[in-house]
Structure 1
Amino acid sequence: MSFKPLLGDGRIRARNEETASLQTASWIGSSVVFDSRRWACQEAEIRWTAPHHLIVLTDGGSTSRTSIRTDGKTLYDGQDRPGVLTFVPASAERVGFYRDVDLSYSAVWIDPELALPGLELLRDMPVLVNRSDAVIGTLLRSLRTEMSLGHVPETVYVEHLVALIGLRMTSLEGSPRLAASRGRLSRRKFERVRDYIEANIASDISLSEVAAIAGMPLDTFARRFKETTGRPPYAYILEERIRRAELLLRETGMAIGAIAFRLGFSSQSHFTTTFRRLKGITPRAYRLQFSPES
């Protein structure tokens, strides 16, 4: 298998190349794509343009030389190292030269038309190379870890993660942040959203869906929902699923795998991991507290 970015077009030349795809997933009709890989080669030259914004975290490994150019200007000439970030805005041409490559990386591709808080600021940003941000690094590593465990995070979680990454990325260039609106959701709007979540608890609920139910822009809704409940929407939805799981474990004999499916978890192992993280106990052990004969 030869190295080729998931999105876009261009030219790649490489010598003595080895590559392995570790985890790949997409959400919202491929508006967000995650790609984790290992890439090794003696030497490579890449000229590439993509329709999505690209954010790359170097997870491990190094190069003896990395040189990145755009618009005829050299942006970076040095070495790759673990923990560094690169940002390439949509439609920008990236020209890269690499030598003695042995890297693992996590990449997120973001559709510039995706309507999430702060992402519109990415349109005006330049190419950034070998920057550092502890928050973005932690977010991408956590997503990679979830994927490596076989858990594909839900859409609403990924939307929050991407929005936060986008806002943090703009701060690396000193771009202005969006002004935050204050206030809570009205009682009627909150009840409408709560009822929608309860009725669709087994579905892959997205932030855009619940914001539409409230009749509010995504960023305003997310802030006001957290102000109202003390939790972001994705955490609220997850806790609601676990609350329902507790009820089913206590009061029914439904199989744990069936409960996981009924409540929208991607697998029984994902359900068990999430339940244990939030409740400090596995679903089976929780059930045994109420029905020892189970």
Structure 2
Amino acid sequence: MKRSVIQAELTKGATRLRVQTFYYESPSEMVRRPSRHTLALMSSRKKSSRGHFFNRHQADRLSDLGSLMFIPAGHSLFGMGPGGAQEMIACSFEAGAIPALSPLERSWDLSDLTQCYDIRSPRISDTLRRITQEVLTPGFASDILIDALINALPVELSRYFQTHPEAQTTPVSKRGQLSQRQLQTIEDYVREWPAGGVRCEDLAALVGLSRAHFMRLFKATTGMTAHAFVEQLRLQQAQTLLATTNMPLKQIAGQLGFATPASFSLAFRRLTGLTPGSYRTEYQ
């Protein structure tokens, strides 16, 4: 059994966005079969979450579920995990209504669907988070920016699936970008918040590149600097901890690598427009 709290909803043409927190029993199981193509970003995905696609005749073996997933319309996904609170940004698209998604309007067999369990694309994740931020805390010309980001999202999704097989086997792409495997290695390292902080030279060493070459490839691949990427991950984790726990701000600041609660509060307010205390009050 689960309950949920909806923070925001948005409909733009054939696209719908929902920001929601689910509170699952421990452990939890669920089956989803959406009628619309669904892209889901779970900002609090537990590493032990697993699942598989299935139909009436066969089922894929259980696989690890990543924080970003895609469920094609009409396909069934079984998932299981440790339960607890999970924040989700879900963007769904009406099947057959968006030309940019035409490459995905096809027959998916179970081997194809394995690409959907763990989408490793900072561009797609960042676009979802930017839309969400504009919906939750609108700024100047938010409507124009939201329209542009929503139009870009199906394009990025289709591009990902067209290049995904090559990205999984090639260390650096032919277009001078980091591979999906390299990006995931970097993200996993950053999320652990190593003692002493995250340095560009350490990230470069993880993927066997010089610092200068790594910074060029990272910007070309994600559209952002490594520093901005690290700040984005810290903000994501901070939002999850504030919304789903009663952990003191001092403890959150220390866990995320901030020197003091004051520096954490300053960075959080700069990125969201809210103080950590205000965010916790609004979303808990």
TM-score, length basis structure 1: 0.46
* Greater C-alpha radius of gyration: 1
More strand by share: 1
More helix by share: 2
